[in-house]
Amino acid sequence: MIRAAVVGAAGYIGGEVLRLLLGHPRVEVAAAVSSRFPGKRVDGPHPNLRGVTDLTFCTEEQLTEYDVLFLATPHRTTMRTLPRLAALAKTVIDLSGDFRLRDAEVFRRYYGEPHEAPELLDEFVPGFPELAREQLTGADRIAVPGCMAAAAILALTPLTDEGLIEPDVDVDARTGSSGSGATAGEANLHAERSGALRLFATSGHRHEAEIAQACGVRPTMTATGVEAVRGVQVVCRTRLREGITEQEVRAAYRRRYAEEPFVRVVAQRRGLYRLPEPKILLGSNFCDVGFALQPDSRRLLAVSALDNLVKGGAGNAVQSLNVRMGWPERLGLEFPGLHPV
Amino acid sequence: MIRAAVVGAAGYIGGEVLRLLLGHPRVEVAAAVSSRFPGKRVDGPHPNLRGVTDLTFCTEEQLTEYDVLFLATPHRTTMRTLPRLAALAKTVIDLSGDFRLRDAEVFRRYYGEPHEAPELLDEFVPGFPELAREQLTGADRIAVPGCMAAAAILALTPLTDEGLIEPDVDVDARTGSSGSGATAGEANLHAERSGALRLFATSGHRHEAEIAQACGVRPTMTATGVEAVRGVQVVCRTRLREGITEQEVRAAYRRRYAEEPFVRVVAQRRGLYRLPEPKILLGSNFCDVGFALQPDSRRLLAVSALDNLVKGGAGNAVQSLNVRMGWPERLGLEFPGLHPV
Amino acid sequence: MIRAAVVGAAGYIGGEVLRLLLGHPRVEVAAAVSSRFPGKRVDGPHPNLRGVTDLTFCTEEQLTEYDVLFLATPHRTTMRTLPRLAALAKTVIDLSGDFRLRDAEVFRRYYGEPHEAPELLDEFVPGFPELAREQLTGADRIAVPGCMAAAAILALTPLTDEGLIEPDVDVDARTGSSGSGATAGEANLHAERSGALRLFATSGHRHEAEIAQACGVRPTMTATGVEAVRGVQVVCRTRLREGITEQEVRAAYRRRYAEEPFVRVVAQRRGLYRLPEPKILLGSNFCDVGFALQPDSRRLLAVSALDNLVKGGAGNAVQSLNVRMGWPERLGLEFPGLHPV
Amino acid sequence: MIRAAVVGAAGYIGGEVLRLLLGHPRVEVAAAVSSRFPGKRVDGPHPNLRGVTDLTFCTEEQLTEYDVLFLATPHRTTMRTLPRLAALAKTVIDLSGDFRLRDAEVFRRYYGEPHEAPELLDEFVPGFPELAREQLTGADRIAVPGCMAAAAILALTPLTDEGLIEPDVDVDARTGSSGSGATAGEANLHAERSGALRLFATSGHRHEAEIAQACGVRPTMTATGVEAVRGVQVVCRTRLREGITEQEVRAAYRRRYAEEPFVRVVAQRRGLYRLPEPKILLGSNFCDVGFALQPDSRRLLAVSALDNLVKGGAGNAVQSLNVRMGWPERLGLEFPGLHPV
């Protein structure tokens, strides 16, 4: 049993980290930090945890020592607090965007301001077992990827690893409202956000940089807010290199994910759910990936879906912890998702 | 052609008043006041009005003289601004809660503070043609009822007018999110409000007082937020007086609404839409009312549905204006609603 | 490890039984019967089970011997097949309506035709640990209650057990679309069912009889289809007996459910989720129950929420199995539900 | 006043034709044909028309003579019935797919079987005023385009007319459930369709052929079912030809649609609704079109949104009738859409 603390525990990602850790057989949640709700019960902002825990939030000042620290604080907070917080735990798992990019210059371009701790960028390993399982073993600085980036990367790596596609990729991400967090504003007001099909980003989305870094492609990303709270679907439109066949594509996906506990290849010829769809993944750590060729051309769709708060965030963090600790990778992540839903 | 001004025109009710007036053949929208967006285009906060108007918002100070003034300002604003604004127009139509109740003491009890202009309460006529058509002819102070109150009153008056029911009535109102307005907060954050079945009021809702005043019953009201942006459904549970038959109930509804242009009696034995439902009323000024007896008892359900921003607000205001002016009552209110939707 | 078979395994309830049993540490799913999909993979109609099982459906004829048989077949099927199927397993857990009512005459009245195996009615124990925990220990004929009935009964029993309320109760059930099953028809066509507030039952609903039987009240039930796939909320409107106070009501709920692993009392003064709401219960076996008094009267709201396919069906079945076997009651039912969602 | 008959009047498109014609000042609905509901009231399957009409459905055999006949019958029906029905009216407006393509061979490829009346293909003019206003004047055979095709074509023609883009276009269509009509099946079962992000077509969609025909591009189309009943959004991804600037693109859209009554250019730098979104178009005949350049590349997004049953069907039909008759083009089509919704 190891002791964990969660900073930023009152937010949506923080709450999901708590949910998963409270159900994890080898982790004890020793502290949950919230600057807004110190002293208040954790099941106030997270009503799904009623009857599951009696924990109350504490302040950052009240933190002592832990085996692992999860940082679910806003972008640009981690890079400021890390030097201080890192002293409290051997292992730090960051869920913000601060340590996902290796290149400080790329960070500056996508985040619009300089990185404040560029010397630490090299210390971080991606909290992404499908990409960095070996590095994660024993890693103590882990940066979990962005939700849309994670989905896109899982859709693309079977293709890019084997050099099957051309470098230009249109990344069309569709996302629920929980990705923008628990802070109320006009953009996530129910009357405005309900039923939306909102192209809120047509270029320069931060996750674009992560995709480029991981896959070595030239992504052009758009993001559309759709009617959902949880869930991300990514549709990548690209072209196969000359002469590549459907069988080779299918084999590449199969090979790449044969041993992966949380990636399922979904590319059927029939059925309602023949390509990945996020609604059946709510609460689950699965990422479904699939593809479809467009005949009479070399165009290919690579599609993926996940729950942005689980495989796109807290689930990847816990899976990374499992890998880092040498535990069975599925531990605490067994919930398969629901249907119908 | 008369000239109208709308105060509070950037809000949801104000926007709906604008939409209806811009399509009204005898009204010119001469001014739209917004304290937040002075000088900005009206079709900014109301994107449905793009291509319909080039109007920009002005400030209250820029108002001059109009034939009619619509006040779509928050509760407790009208009673403060009325003395000043009343000088600008012969006719004032208020959509806030300030002048709906005739008794200042009841106002104090339900709104939690004293009325600031109790001497004006008597001047106001309900902006509710089904209840006050004669009073409205020539009226110059008009107070439009609350959305859930309007629905409940239309469900109940055929029964109370003819003394068919006992005085205790459970009023079970179900409502979309637009009723709480355009100001963002935790309660209407999409991730929280989506898919809600939220009993946000279990007693003391302000609309309860309006129902009691109009129908002479003892209402006990609950309000549930449901997954919808627009739309109110009210289910009244009550008991028939001894010996009253279903035929008498049906006849009472038929008689009461035979000549009403915007109330439809919907109480069928078959079909998906056999009782009133708000979704087919989006954008429409119809209120559907119906009923169902519960056999082996004298229990009765009286049900109604409307669009809270139209028949529950802006539509009632425009219909009242039509009556007040002696115009055909349907003018500018012809949109019937959609199906499927 | 015991061996289980599920009949009617391609339906929504059957799929949920499969999901729970596949995650249960002491149960092996040995057979899944579907008359529509014999030989096909279970994860076809249940795409959430991809990667979780390689099971295929078999026919009823292919069944051999099992420790427990779950019947998720339509109403009026179980009473015909039970004599035959009962030979295949010591323990039978029925999820249909056939053996929920003890009185064949009440069955006839509510189901519109005579019971075909009335002599077996007495053999069944309610699959409802909160009501029949002792009877379930070692029981071999178990009938899981209806989803809306289960919710209403859990809301009411703390009150009826202690004689706190009068016998007349209005039961206002709100339900998602999955309750009507996987057979397509006009009523559950997306374009019609989406955004519905549909009073589809105003009297004589079958679950009414179960509530009367379990609680000894005179329920008058209405059922409204709301925009949701999963989830039931029940609002019971009743009156406290003379002199009963809010403290006594609260104490009764607390006492009744202090030791229950899957019932949470949710009756707070503040917060968005201060009364039970089904959305945070998706996939969970919790039933939340709460109450609110309406001042100046003896009126009381008793409110409950659950996932109709879990605590309102498959979860109750598995929890009953746990009790029957003497296993820890939470086994295989640990998923707490999600927020936000 | 002209007399119109609608064949296929019980379906979703037929109902929308009825709604628009019943509100049209120069058209009398003289007959509504339904093979399923002969003799039944029109407001049964179309509950939004209660109180608007007392019309009942008739059979095709009961048809006599009319000025205009609207055919809202399924694909492959019109080409069989046209020779017979054409005798009943001078003007025929077809809403099926049968006469949209000029080339019988392309029809065969996309519809999977030969056209049965290829000799009539040339007689039809597109029911699409933005593309064929002059041809429509006096036209007697009018074929209304497909909903997703209409949206894509309006997004693209400003660019293709002026030769601003390269010929390869990815057409990413997102659509509500009403497009698949009122016939129940697994694909539009609420529990399955709700919350969907379903790539139901990844190549060979029939509307692709219409886009190619109208715009002279090589479209590769995908279609995703999203959570909505009405509404289509199309995102076209393409590349600008060398040297084309954003100003030229903006000017092309402005020029192309300056005089169009039902196309609005929506391409703002700020605001929630800065690109086209279908929800604010429910019930409206507007098509919103916009664009966004993706910097550091010549990539361009051309975006459009419409209500598939109005501008994507019945509205285009009525607008075409207005043009054909020489009436003001907005007649009967004034409803602007709602916000919030």
Selected residue of D166, D197, D230, D279 to mutate for chain A interface (largest A Cβ count, 10 A): D197
**Cα C144 to Cα C124: distance, rounded to the nearest angstrom:** 10
The pLDDT assigned to B295 comes to 84
| Residue position matching structure tokens 């991981």 | A214
Q: Encode pLDDT of A79-96 as tens digits.
A: 999 999 999 999 999 999
**Two tokens at A259?**
């041993």
CA distance B254 to chain C (A): 21
The pLDDT assigned to B300 comes to 97
How large is the average pLDDT for residues A4-12? 98
How large is the average pLDDT for residues C296-313? 96
The pLDDT assigned to C35 comes to 96
Residues of C in Cβ contact (< 8 Å) with A335: 23, 283, 335
Cis-peptide into D340, omega within 30 deg? yes
**Two tokens at C320?**
């009953």
Q: Please give, one letter per residue, the 3-state secondary structure of chain C.
A: CEEEEEECCCCHHHHHHHHHHHCCCCEEEEEEECCCCCCCECCCCCHHHCCCCCCECECHHHCCCEEEEEECCCCCCHHHHHHHHHHHEEEEEECCCCCCCCCHHHHHHHHCCCCCCHHHHHHCEECCHHHHHHHHCCCCEEECCCHHHHHHHHHHHHHHHCCCECCEEEEEEEECHHHHCCCCCHHHEHHHHCCCCEEEECCCCHHHHHHHHHHCCEEEEEEEECCCCCCEEEEEEEEECCCCCHHHHHHHHHHHHCCCCCEEECCCCCCCCCCCCHHHHCCCCCEEEEEEECCCCCEEEEEEEECCCHHHHHHHHHHHHHHHHCCCCCCCCCCCCCCCC
The pLDDT assigned to B254 comes to 98
**Cα A74 to Cα C61: distance, rounded to the nearest angstrom:** 58
**Two tokens at C254?**
């607390």
**Does pLDDT of A112 surpass 80?**
yes
Q: Is B338 helix (H, G, I), strand (E, B) or coil?
A: coil
CA distance D330 to chain A (A): 27
**Two tokens at D107?**
């029809």
Give me the domain span that covers residue C267. 147-307
Sign (positive or negative) of CA dihedral B235, B239, B245, B248: negative
Tell me whether residue A334 is in a domain.
no
**Does pLDDT of D296 surpass 90?**
no
| Residue position matching structure tokens 């043009």 | D323
How large is the average pLDDT for residues D311-335? 98
Task: For residue B174, list its beta bridge partners.
Answer: B224, B233
**Cα A272 to Cα B338: distance, rounded to the nearest angstrom:** 28
Contact C186 D190 (CB under 8 A): no
**Cα A306 to Cα A150: distance, rounded to the nearest angstrom:** 9
Q: Encode pLDDT of B69-100 as tens digits.
A: 999 999 999 999 999 999 999 999 999 999 99
Tell me whether residue B113 is in a domain.
yes
The pLDDT assigned to A73 comes to 95
Q: Is D274 helix (H, G, I), strand (E, B) or coil?
A: coil
CATH (domain of B161): 3.30.360.10
How much helix, strand and coil, in percent to the nearest 5, is found in chain B? Answer: 35, 25, 40
Tell me whether residue A118 is in a domain.
yes
Is residue A316 located within the same domain as residue A233?
A: no
The pLDDT assigned to B87 comes to 94
**Cα C227 to Cα B174: distance, rounded to the nearest angstrom:** 12
Tell me whether residue A333 is in a domain.
no
B59: left (phi over 0), alpha (psi -120 to 50) or beta: beta
**Two tokens at D271?**
């605001």
Is residue B213 located within the same domain as residue B111?
A: no
Is residue D77 located within the same domain as residue D182?
A: no
Strand boundaries in A34-134, DSSP class E: 66-71, 89-94, 125-126
- Burial (CB count within 10 angstroms: exposed 0-12, middle 13-18, buried 19+), residue D314: buried
Q: Cβ(C34)–Cβ(C287) under 8 Å?
A: no
**Two tokens at A338?**
């629901």
Q: How many CA atoms lie within 13 A of D17 on its CB side?
A: 34
Catalytic residues of A: 147
Q: Encode pLDDT of D22-68 as tens digits.
A: 999 999 999 999 999 999 999 999 999 999 999 999 999 999 999 99
Is residue C214 located within the same domain as residue C74?
A: no
Is residue B160 located within the same domain as residue B96?
A: no
Total structural domains within chain C: 2
Contact D51 B264 (CB under 8 A): yes
**Cα C310 to Cα C147: distance, rounded to the nearest angstrom:** 9
Q: Encode pLDDT of C86-114 as tens digits.
A: 999 999 999 999 999 999 999 999 999 99
Tell me whether residue D162 is in a domain.
yes
Tell me whether residue C20 is in a domain.
yes
Is residue C80 located within the same domain as residue C21?
A: yes
Is residue B208 located within the same domain as residue B82?
A: no
**Does pLDDT of D157 surpass 80?**
yes
Q: Which helix (H) or strand (E) holds A205?
A: none
Tell me whether residue C313 is in a domain.
no
CB neighbours of D337 closer than 8 A, spacing ≥ 6?
A: B48, D280, D281, D282, D283, D284, D286, D307
Q: Encode pLDDT of A179-226 as tens digits.
A: 988 899 999 999 999 999 999 999 999 999 999 999 999 999 999 999
Q: What is the mean pLDDT of chain D?
A: 97
Q: Encode pLDDT of D75-114 as tens digits.
A: 999 999 999 999 999 999 999 999 999 999 999 999 999 9
**Does pLDDT of C295 surpass 90?**
no
User: Neighbours of B (≥3 Cβ pairs closer than 8 A)?
Assistant: A, C, D
How large is the average pLDDT for residues C172-184? 94
Residues of B in Cβ contact (< 8 Å) with D288: 50
Residue pairs between chains A and C whose CB atoms are closer than 8 Å: 93
The answer to pTM > 0.80 is: yes
| pLDDT-flagged residues of chain B (< 50) | none
Q: Cβ(C203)–Cβ(B295) under 8 Å?
A: yes
Sign (positive or negative) of CA dihedral A273, A279, A282, A285: positive
CA A67 to chain centre: 22
CB neighbours of D148 closer than 8 A, spacing ≥ 6?
A: D171, D173, D175, D205, D207, D221, D223, D232, D234, D308, D312
**Cα A140 to Cα C54: distance, rounded to the nearest angstrom:** 37
Q: Cβ(D94)–Cβ(D203) under 8 Å?
A: no
CA distance C270 to chain A (A): 10
Q: Which residue of B has its CA nearest to A196?
A: B190
**Cα D201 to Cα D197: distance, rounded to the nearest angstrom:** 12
Q: What angle do CA D142, D143, D145 make, to 5 degrees?
A: 140
Task: For residue C264, list its beta bridge partners.
Answer: C288
**Cα B208 to Cα B222: distance, rounded to the nearest angstrom:** 9
Contact D191 C186 (CB under 8 A): no
- How would residue C297 be classed by pLDDT, with cut points 50, 70 and 90? confident
Q: Which residue of B has its CA nearest to C191?
A: B340
- Find, among C94, C109, C221, the residue nearest to C156 by Cα: C221
Contact A51 C284 (CB under 8 A): no
Contact D341 A195 (CB under 8 A): yes
Task: Say how many C-beta atoms besides its own lie within 10 A of residue C117's C-beta.
Answer: 15
**Does pLDDT of A296 surpass 80?**
no
Q: Cβ(D277)–Cβ(D233) under 8 Å?
A: yes
Instruction: List the single residue in A48, A51, A337 with the smallest CB-CB distance to C339.
Output: A48
- Find, among B221, B184, B228, B178, the residue nearest to B200 by Cα: B221
**Torsion angle of the four alpha carbons B43, B44, B45, B49, in this order, in degrees rounded to the nearest 10:** 20
**Cα B16 to Cα A191: distance, rounded to the nearest angstrom:** 14
- Burial (CB count within 10 angstroms: exposed 0-12, middle 13-18, buried 19+), residue B228: buried
C-alpha to C-alpha distances, B54 to A23, B69, C47, D256, nearest whole angstrom = 57, 20, 51, 20
Q: Which residue of A has its CA nearest to C51?
A: A264
Look at chain D and count its residues.
341
CATH (domain of C67): 3.40.50.720
Q: Which residue of A has its CA nearest to C52?
A: A336
Is residue A123 located within the same domain as residue A162?
A: no
**Two tokens at B274?**
């056999």
User: Neighbours of D (≥3 Cβ pairs closer than 8 A)?
Assistant: A, B, C
Is residue A160 located within the same domain as residue A280?
A: yes
Tell me whether residue D129 is in a domain.
no
Is residue D185 located within the same domain as residue D302?
A: yes
Pairing of strands D66-71, D89-94: parallel
The pLDDT assigned to D297 comes to 82
How much helix, strand and coil, in percent to the nearest 5, is found in chain D? Answer: 35, 25, 40
Is residue C71 located within the same domain as residue C159?
A: no
Q: What is the mean pLDDT of chain C?
A: 97
Q: Cβ(B160)–Cβ(B181) under 8 Å?
A: no
Query: DSSP states of D112-178 as a string?
Result: SS--S-GGGGGG-EES-HHHHHHHHTT-SEEEPPPHHHHHHHHHHHHHHHTT-B-SEEEEEEEE-GG
Residues of D in Cβ contact (< 8 Å) with C191: 12, 176-178, 182, 188, 229
Active site residue B147: yes
The pLDDT assigned to A198 comes to 98
Is residue A160 located within the same domain as residue A104?
A: no
